Structure 1
Amino acid sequence: MCDDLTLEDNERYVKHPGQFSRRQFVTGVVGAGLALYLPVTANAFSVTETRVSVPTPDGNADGYFVYPSSGKYPAVVLWPDILGLRPAFELMGKRLAQSGYAVLVVNPFYRSQKAPVVAEGASFDDEATRNIVIPLAKSLSPATHRLDAKAFIQFLDKQAAVDTRKKVGTMGYCMSGAIAFRAAATVPERVGAVASFHGGGLVNDTADSPHLLIPNTSAQFLVAIAENDDQRDPDAKTVLRKSFAEAHINAEVDVYEGALHGWCPPDSRVYNQEQAERAWSRLLALLGEALV
C-alpha cells in the first residue's frame, strides 16, 4: 500500500532512474492523452460506456460500466487504487471490455464522496492529495469490502450484457488488491478469477489478513508484486505461495523486476509500460482460463 517508503522510492526513481529499469515515465498526462500509452486492443469489440448507480445497503455507489455492445460476456469488477475512480481506470476498464468482458469500475469511496475524489492528474506524491485519499482509504474495512463485493456482483448479474453462466472476475490495485481477495471469499460461488497488482497488505499479522481467506475461495489467482514491495517484505510471496498450495488453489505469484509500487496505471508517476503490459497479458490469460 502507498506510504512514506513508497514516496521515497518514487523520488529516487525520478532522480536516479538507473536504480530500477525505467521503461516509460509518464507525468503531466491526463484525460484522453493517457490512451496513447495503452496499445490498441487486437480485434477489439465495439463497446458501450455508461455511468451507473449501484444500490448497496450503505447507499448508491457511482461507477463506470463498459461492455461489448452486443451479446453476453463474463463480468469483471475492477477496483481502483487509492486515488479512486478516474480517467486512467476508465481507460483500463474500456480496454478490458474491448477484449470481451462486461466491466464495472467502481468508486470504493462512494460512502463519502462521488468520483472523482481528486483532481485529474493528481499524484499521491502530493501532500494535499494524500490528505484527501488516506482518510478515505481508512474509512473502508473488511466489512465494507464484503458488503460492496456482494452488491457489485449482484448488480452485474442483473445486466443484460453479463453472461451469468460464466464466473466473475475481481481485480484490484494497491489498496484494492486486498479487496479483490475478500470479494472472492465473500462470493466464492461466483468469483472465478482474482488479480492483484502491487496489492498492499495481502499478508499481515491480523485476523483479517487477506491471505487467510484463500481456503475460502474457489478462484484462480494472479498476484503481481512490485520489486520494491518485495524488497520491503520478501517473505510475503513465500507465504502466499504456501497458502495457495495448501488450499490447492491455482495461483501465479510473481515479482515484476524493475517495477515500483504503482507501476500499472498509465497515469502513475512510476508507470512502467513494459511490465504493465506483461501484467495485462497475464490478466487476460487468467480471465480467459478461469471465467468459464
Structure 2
Amino acid sequence: MCDETDLEAFAKTDSEKTGLTRRGFAATGAVASLAACTSMPGGGMGGALTESMVMIPTSDGTMDAFFVHPAKPAPAVILWPDIAGLREVKMQMARRLAGEGYAVLVANPYYRDVKAPQFADFAAFQAQNGFEKVGPWRAKATEPAAVNRDATALVAWLDKQAAVNTRRGIGNQGYCMGGPYTVYTAAAVPGRVKAAGSFHGGGLVSDKPTSPHLMLQAGTQYLIAIAQNDDAKQPAAKDELRKAAASVGAKAEIEVYSADHGWCVPDSPAYDQVQAERAWSRLLATYKAAL
C-alpha cells in the first residue's frame, strides 16, 4: 500500500542524501529513455502517434485526461495513475504503450478538485507534502462508487472515438492507489473491460464488503504485480487474491516481485528498471492475450 510509511522508507534511501543518488540517476535516465523512444512524431514501434488533453463528461463533473493513440484504430487502455497523479512520466508511459498499438487514456483521478498536473513529478510530490495536499482529493477519488462512475464514463467516451477499435476489448492498468481502480473498472463495465493490470496496488484485500478481491470477474484477465515490501506487510493478500480468482474462474497472474512499492514508475524513488521491464513485458503479454 502507498502510504506515509513507504515514503519514509524512500526518504531514508534517497532524499536524506545530497546530490543525485544512483537510484535517482537511474530514474532520470529511464524517463529520458522513455521520452526518446516516444517523441513526436515517430512514436516508437507503432509509428506516428497523435496526442492531446481531452475533457470527458462524468456524472460528477468533467475529467481532464491525456489521450494518445496510433494512426490506425486500436484497442483502448485506461491508465490510472499513482498517488502523485497525471504528470509527464505517466504521459511518457502512455506514449510507450501507444507505440505498441494501443489507444491510451490517462485519467486525472483528482479532477473533482483540480486539473492535472498536480505535481511535476514524484520528487515534487514529496517536497510539497503530497500526502497532506492530496488527502481531500483522494478521499473523493478512491471511493469505489466514484471509481465505478468514472470508469463507466471513460469507457463510454472511448467507445465514441474513431481512434478506438471497438471490436476489441478494453484494458486498464493502475499503479499504487490506481491498482484497485483496475479491478473496480473491470467490475463496473464487465462487457467491455477484458484486462486489468495492478502494479504495486494498495488495498487490494481488506475486510470491507467493497474489497477489490471480492470484485474479480470471470471474463477479465488479471495481472497483479505485488511489491516485496507490500507482501511483507500483508503476506496473506496474495493467497486471498488467488482464492478469489479461482472461486469465480478468473484468469489471474499474481506474483510478488523482488522490488519495493513504486518500482514500476520511472520518477519513483523505488524505481527498479530491471523489474519494471519485466512487469512491462507481462503487461504486454496480458493485453495481447485478452484484448
Q: From the two aligned structures, give the one with the greater helix fraction.
A: 2
Contact 2:4-2:131 at 8 Å conserved across structures: no
Q: Secondary structure of 1:43's partner?
A: helix
Gap regions ≥5 residues in structure 1: 17-23
Deviation, structure 1 residue 10:
1.7
Q: Secondary structure of 2:52's partner?
A: strand
Residue in structure 2 matching 1:143, options 122, 145, 150: 145
Between the aligned partners of 2:27 and 2:221, the Cα distance in structure 1 is: 34
Residue in structure 1 matching 2:24, options 23, 26, 34: 26
Q: Give me the identity figure in percent.
A: 47
Confirm whether residue 274 of structure 1 aligns to residue 274 of structure 2.
yes
Q: Which residue of 1 aligns with 2:160?
A: 158
1:15–1:155: structure 2 CA closer, same or farther, 3 Å change rule? closer
Gap regions ≥5 residues in structure 2: 17-21, 39-43
Between the aligned partners of 1:50 and 1:35, the Cα distance in structure 2 is: 20
What code does the residue aligned with 1:274 have?
V
Q: Which residue of 1 aligns with 2:255?
A: 254
Written as runs of structure 1 = structure 2, the 5 A alignment for 1:171-182 is: 171-182=173-184
Between the aligned partners of 2:124 and 2:218, the Cα distance in structure 1 is: 34
What code does the residue aligned with 2:283 have?
L
1:5–1:113: structure 2 CA closer, same or farther, 3 Å change rule? same
Q: Which residue of 2 aligns with 1:45?
A: 47
Q: Secondary structure of 1:82's partner?
A: coil
Residue in structure 1 matching 2:200, options 198, 201, 204: 198
1:177–1:29: structure 2 CA closer, same or farther, 3 Å change rule? closer
RCO higher in structure (CA 8 A, sep ≥6): 1
Q: Which residue of 1 aligns with 2:90?
A: 89
1:114–1:27: structure 2 CA closer, same or farther, 3 Å change rule? farther
1:61–1:217: structure 2 CA closer, same or farther, 3 Å change rule? farther
What code does the residue aligned with 1:88 have?
V
Contact 2:34-2:92 at 8 Å conserved across structures: no
Between the aligned partners of 1:40 and 1:111, the Cα distance in structure 2 is: 33
Deviation, structure 1 residue 254:
0.4
Q: Secondary structure of 1:9's partner?
A: helix
What code does the residue aligned with 2:46 have?
A
Deviation, structure 1 residue 45:
2.5
What code does the residue aligned with 2:180 have?
A
Contact 1:202-1:211 at 8 Å conserved across structures: yes
Q: Which residue of 2 aligns with 1:21?
A: none
Q: Normalising by structure 1, report the TM-score.
A: 0.90
1:139–1:222: structure 2 CA closer, same or farther, 3 Å change rule? same
Q: Which residue of 1 aligns with 2:80?
A: 79
1:143–1:15: structure 2 CA closer, same or farther, 3 Å change rule? closer
Deviation, structure 1 residue 173:
0.6
Q: Which residue of 1 aligns with 2:61?
A: 59
Q: How many residue pairs get matched?
A: 282
Contact 1:180-1:195 at 8 Å conserved across structures: yes
Q: Which residue of 2 aligns with 1:102?
A: 103
Q: Root-mean-square deviation (CA), in Å?
A: 2.4
Q: Secondary structure of 2:11's partner?
A: helix
Contact 1:184-1:217 at 8 Å conserved across structures: no
Deviation, structure 1 residue 7:
2.2
Q: Normalising by structure 2, report the TM-score.
A: 0.90
1:37–1:97: structure 2 CA closer, same or farther, 3 Å change rule? closer
1:80–1:217: structure 2 CA closer, same or farther, 3 Å change rule? farther
Deviation, structure 1 residue 40:
4.1
Between the aligned partners of 2:94 and 2:80, the Cα distance in structure 1 is: 10
Between the aligned partners of 2:236 and 2:83, the Cα distance in structure 1 is: 24
What code does the residue aligned with 2:111 have?
Y
Contact 2:56-2:64 at 8 Å conserved across structures: yes
